[in-house]
Amino acid sequence: MPKLIITENPEKWNLKFEGAEVISPSAYFSKPEYQESKTFKIINLCRSHQYQSLGYYVSLLAEARGHKVIPEIATLQDFRFPSLIRDDAEEFNALIQNSLKSQSENKVVIHIMFGQVDNPQFSRIGVLLFNLFQIPIIQAVFVKKDKWQLQALKPLHLKGLDEANSKKLQEALFFYITGKKVVRKKYSRKKYDLAILMSPEDSTPPSSPKAIQKFIAAADKLGFNTEVITKNDFGKLVQFDALFIRETTNVNHYTYRFAKKAESEGLVVIDDSNSILKCTNKVYLHELLVANKIAVPKSYILRKDSQKVPENFNYPMVIKQPDGSFSKGVKKVSDEKQLAETLKDLFQKSELLIVQEFMPTPYDWRVGVVNKQPLYVCKYFMAQNHWQIVDWKKNGEHREGKSETIAVSDVPKVLIDTALKATALIGNGLYGVDIKEINGKFYVIEINDNPNIDAGVEDRIIKNGLYTKIMETFLERIQKR
């Protein structure tokens, strides 16, 4: 997506960025090419963003034209209410205290340019405040009383910068726009930019490192520059055309915020926020599947204020936490005592739980679906001497059962039809449908919005074609915008 840097005197900017152009506000206001396309990303570097100023109208018209702009009008409005800004900063108290603990003075002023700061000790604060407020140049003032507090935060503008800081701004802007390419200088510039969101702390990531490399290789062949990003790179989303989330998702989690932010910036996103919202809550999924007459195990929703299990449920039975993942938050109970203990534990985390009939099978089917088409089929076998695919130990370690990958053409058609019918209720993203087979009948257990794709497992049949198909989905959607 082309980027426009808008400033009153573009001739004073010696910027030569690939994919970026420096223009004046008048050019942006008047030229038809900037009015007729919605694909531009705008970096508003006017001398002022005050109400009714040129900078104000650049952001206002950018939003009216459907362009993605930094700063947004809503952000500029937020700075009119300093108390709201300070309240937001309080959520990150530990980071602020840790970053400033070695300061001998009782007052610290930090200038932040596109997340960059002069003093490396303040780098995390710089990234934090830029991610939060998305203002090109910010001055943050911290004072120490009983503890360090954010006293003031305000936008700065070009007219307030001396020559040295103007040079620093250009360097920060260069890194902001092209920083992800700096470490890849030997590669030619490609047409599109893809971010893959991962977490070093995710103990059970949806894709192994080898699989991520295969995704990157497939993307490269289709014309993508690809960067692996983490939760600290929220402010960089504007640089990309697409976001691929490859870590465990949840609504009450930064993965959901990343998806929402990326969508608002016009990126193609998998997992999209709607899929995260629907797939990560088993109560919602159960109601959705039942309402659409898709076979599921016999189930019942328990409320915290009414914990009576219907009489037609026999032991053993399964109790599920609505937002559990990777077999976590799913308990099998064999008698009334276990049931009471399990309900007491899980109701501390949720107002609703699901009780489900126990359907023992040696394996679960997993059908991978992308863009409403079957992608792969696996049998995930139960962990040894356990009733689930993943056997979690009390110390946090786990054992997994073996797996078997089968060609889509070699499995029962009704299995594929069931998976496609179920995922069509969610969207057209990337899903993994868990299905149990009992006496030739198929029951949907759940739909995963970020299914496992590991090298040597899900790709065993179609090899690198699996990664290519997913990347082709990104490319097709970008080209259709």
In this predicted model, what pLDDT tens digit does every residue of 106-139 receive, in sequence order?
Answer: 999 999 998 888 888 888 888 878 877 788 998 8
Span 286-300, mean pLDDT? 91
Residue 84 has pLDDT above 60, yes or no: no
* Superfamily of domain 359-448 in the CATH hierarchy: ATP-grasp fold, B domain (3.30.470.20)
Span 289-299, mean pLDDT? 92
Residue 247 has pLDDT above 80, yes or no: yes
Structure tokens at 170: 């250009």
> Confidence band (pLDDT; 50, 70, 90) for 54?
confident
Residue 366 has pLDDT above 60, yes or no: yes
Q: What is the pLDDT of residue 188?
A: 45
Q: What is the pLDDT of residue 375?
A: 97
Q: Which CATH class is domain 298-358?
A: alpha beta
Residue 418 has pLDDT above 80, yes or no: yes
What are the extents of the domains in the chain?
A: 3-76, 81-156, 190-271, 298-358, 359-448
Residue 312 has pLDDT above 80, yes or no: yes
Q: What is the pLDDT of residue 81?
A: 59
* Superfamily of domain 190-271 in the CATH hierarchy: Response regulator (3.40.50.2300)
Do residues 75 and 134 lie in contact, with contact meaning Cβ atoms separated by under 8 Å?
yes
What is the SS3 assignment for 396-409? CCEEECCEEEECHH
State the Cα–Cα distance between residues 240 and 185, nearest whole angstrom: 18
In this predicted model, what pLDDT tens digit does every residue of 194-224 receive, in sequence order?
Answer: 999 998 777 788 998 899 989 998 998 998 9
Place of tokens 């049949």: 461
In this predicted model, what pLDDT tens digit does every residue of 339-348 receive, in sequence order?
Answer: 888 888 888 8
Q: What pTM was computed for the model? A: 0.65
150 by Cβ neighbours in 10 Å (0-12 / 13-18 / 19+) ranks as buried
> Confidence band (pLDDT; 50, 70, 90) for 404?
very high
Range of lowest pLDDT (41-50, 188-197, 457-466): 188-197
